[in-house]
Structure 1
Amino acid sequence: MTRSALSLRTALLASAALLSGLPVLITAPVPAAAQQAPAARPFDIPAQPLAAAIAAYGRQSGVQVSLRAEDATGRTSAAVSGTLTAEAALTRLLQGTGLTAATATDGTVTLLPLPAAPAGAAVLAPLSVAGTVTVPGDSSPWEPTEGYTARRVATASKTDAPLIRTPQSVSVVTRDQIDAQKADSVVEALRYTPGVVGESFGIDTRYDWTLIRGFSQAETGLFRDGLQLRSTGYASWRQEPYGAERIEVLRGPASVLYGQGDVGGLDLPGKSGERTSKIC
């Protein structure tokens, strides 16, 4: 007898038993080779009477499921569609039926009614919880960044790009880190940045003599909001860190974006206004 003929025969016998009111046991047929718990597989079971849904589940999952005829009477299954494990598919199939699954050591499953609620117990309606998850440091490069880790930068591409997808070496010193270090100058804020020597000639209150990978940034490597602060002669720019939202350090050549210049650069995006107004 073929598998389809066997399934049809089982469905007909179950239907006849339900019509006659006999207390029979409905068992979803399953090939002998499919008794092992399978991995995720595709399911396509429409909402239908529970007895027929269990039979379809047994064919598609390879799991033997037993159900008493009186427990199937008047119950309708939920629809199941998609690639799921056998356990997840059965859980979704039984939603709203008042039945639960008990799995034996041999892998077979028996469906049983859920225990009745104690007298006087209150039944609560389903509760849905929704919310928004904010990842610290995932804000735009032109907005305030919470914490010490920035995940988006603009220096290496002049766009709002994820740092992990930026094909250049970039470090970011956030506003929170500058404040935690109590840095009074840009070079003090860069003391923990790899590949950067902030005070190459010692402490200097006049200029910022910064080296990135051994190359001086005093003449063409200083930027404010992405605009170059070119120095001429002996004098050089000295930027204050108080008005900066962060310090972005670019290591490596960037002449494609910024033209002729040093190997790397320092960019200080200015602070942006708060989105919500405050009345002091």
Structure 2
Amino acid sequence: MGGHNAWRDSNGQLRTTSHRYVSQLGADLLTGGFTDSDSWRLGVLAGYARDYNSTHSSVSDYRSKGSVRGYSAGLYATWFADDISKKGAYIDAWAQYSWFKNSVKGDELAYESYSAKGATVSLEAGYGFALNKSFGLEAAKYTWIFQPQAQAIWMGVDHHAHTEANGSRIENDANNNIQTRLGFRTFIRTQEKSSGLHGDDFEPFVEMNWIHNSKDFAVSMNGVKVEQDGARNQGEIKLGVNGNLNPAASVWGNVGVQLGDNGYNDTTVMVGLKYKF
């Protein structure tokens, strides 16, 4: 995944832009079902991320550049009432622990580095409705699914207070943020009749969400709070496609944009591959 982010602080003096790159691996450890139609899976995941950012002050004209490098490891669990048709309920949960190394260098200031670590936990649920009965052409059939979704993420990553070389004390003011997402995904399932239930499925989708953070992302510098503006409430739209190359391999990709107040924006591009051994 790659992403770009731009925002201003609440006083309008600082503008920050960043670029990030994230890779993640996961593997199912256990799979099963409680009935003939449902399915569940439990697995492990691991990730690596890099972020490069730059901040400019419109008051002093000073700039700073920073970077973040991080690793994560965790578990996930997913249940679908019907994993094939995508109709009915689903529940998805994951938890991970992350370690980050941060560095920053400002104009006429010493190089600074500090660490952060903590847990992140997510719970998501949704329900898929078929908006039409499946209708067929000569080689394929199509089903239109509308899927309302809700998600809550607890963010527990934190860093200890850091004292810079010039004596400034930096503290995190956004620990234990809870991010909630409410929206829907709608997609059309295209399945080749000749290939059976696990054939060449093709799913273009559109997703729209409202995202809310319980806290403003902020730090305190010698007791003076600097807050990220525009991220408390955001609108998101995402366009993408999921597809099965064959019964063992599937791919997906999407582009998402999040917009908030005062010029806040975030763009992500994601691609992925899943293979069943």
TM (norm. structure 1) is 0.21
Normalized per residue, the structure richer in strand is 2
Higher gyration radius (CA): 1
Q: When the two structures are superposed, what TM-score results if normalisation uses the length of structure 2?
A: 0.21
More RCO (CA 8 Å, sep 6+): 2
